[in-house]
Amino acid sequence: MNHARTSMLLGFGLAAIVGTGIVGCRGERSDKPPRQFFPDMDDAEHFRPQNETEFFADGRSQRPTVPGTVGYGRAPIDHAEAEDAGWGDGFGVQRARLLREDQGLYFGTTDAPPDQAEHYVRDIPVEVTMDMIRLGQEKFDIYCAICHGYEGDGKGTVGNRWAGQIVANFHDPKYSNKDDILGRDGYMYHVGRYGLYDPNGVLRMPGYSHALDENEAWAVVAYIRTLQASRGMSIDDGVIPGAERNRLLEQRGTPVGNADQPASQEQIAEGGEQ
């Protein structure tokens, strides 16, 4: 009899608990604090991002990455086989960008001391093509021309508002002398990606790594070199292709006939096709 009574009481107790749980989970809103069944887990101490702490010697709650950590989480694949199959063309590029093992390509620098010109690579470490220069022009016009001007002379909308020549004029010879730090391709790349600071730590120019990836930044450098090479060049130097040269001559008001046809001897005498 006692056993039966005990079982009945346990059954009623269990039913009451289940009923309470059902009522508590009925989905209605309440201003009362939630019930804590495991308060040690709910109230566990934790660090908020960027908060100071005395737990670590450097006082930082956010811990730096372990030396040698590589930000690469893709599943291992045979890149050569994938590229041969035609579906993995981009994986090799993505992996290289994540690993960034080529210091010159991804940072524009070498292991030489930072105060020496040799700290920055002398020349663009990738092949320069017309497509690359056109990409550089596109990115330069978007991000750089507002200060440096569309011609790279430092006379952009913002550049003209500064007192004195504070914004770099890329046609200044110091930006072309590759024996000096300022004239090195790696220096231009590094400043474009990571910004420029005065010796006292004041930011002179923000970096654009958020907007320009490595290839785009090198393309901008290639376009700056193109602007430098074009400064002071005459239309009659024989460098500009025929059809493009004829178009420019027409814009200048010099009739050259059909821009797709070579100029006649009379047009040559008047400054037409050489």
CATH number for 113: 1.10.760
User: Contact, 169 vs 159, CB < 8 A?
Assistant: no
CA-to-CA separations, 51 to 56, 60, 134, in angstroms, rounded: 12, 7, 45
Query: Could you read off the pLDDT of 102-152 as tens digits, one per residue?
Result: 999 999 999 999 999 999 999 999 999 999 999 999 999 999 999 999 999
Residue with the bigger pLDDT between 263 and 33: it is 33
242 and 215 in a single domain? The answer is: no
Task: Look at residue 91 and tell me whether its pLDDT is greater than 80.
Answer: no
Q: Is 179 found in the same domain as 151?
A: yes
Q: How far apart are CA 91 and CA 72, in angstroms?
A: 12
Separation between Cα atoms, residue 217 and residue 135, nearest integer Å: 10
Other beta carbons less than 10 A from residue 273's beta carbon: 20
219 lies in the same domain as 248:
no
Overall average pLDDT of the 150-155 stretch: 92
The pLDDT assigned to 100 comes to: 82
> Highest mean pLDDT range out of 3-7, 93-97, 116-120?
116-120
- Domain hosting residue 209, numbered range: 95-230
Residue 254 has pLDDT above 90, yes or no: no
Does residue 68 lie within any of the structural domains? Answer: no
Q: What is the pLDDT of residues 208-226, one digit of tens each?
A: 999 999 999 999 999 999 9
Positive or negative, the Cα torsion across 195, 142, 102, 110?
A: negative
The rounded distance, in Å, linking the Cα atoms of 31 and 213 is 49
Domain assignment present for residue 111? The answer is: yes
DSSP H helical segments within the chain, as ranges?
2-24, 39-42, 79-85, 89-99, 103-107, 130-139, 145-148, 185-194, 214-230, 242-252, 265-269
Number of domains in the chain: 2
Residues 118 and 225 occupy one common structural domain: yes
Based on the fold, state whether residues 185 and 255 are members of the same structural domain: no
Lowest mean pLDDT among 8-17, 115-124, 207-216, 236-245: 8-17
Same domain? For 214 and 131 the reply is yes
139 belongs to a structural domain: yes
CA 223 to centroid of chain Cα atoms: 17
Clarify whether residues 225 and 124 are in a common domain.
Answer: yes
Q: For residue 32, what pLDDT band results from cuts at 50, 70 and 90?
A: confident
Q: Which residues of 217-232 are buried (b: 16+ CB within 10 A; e: fewer)?
A: bbbbbbbbbbbbeeee
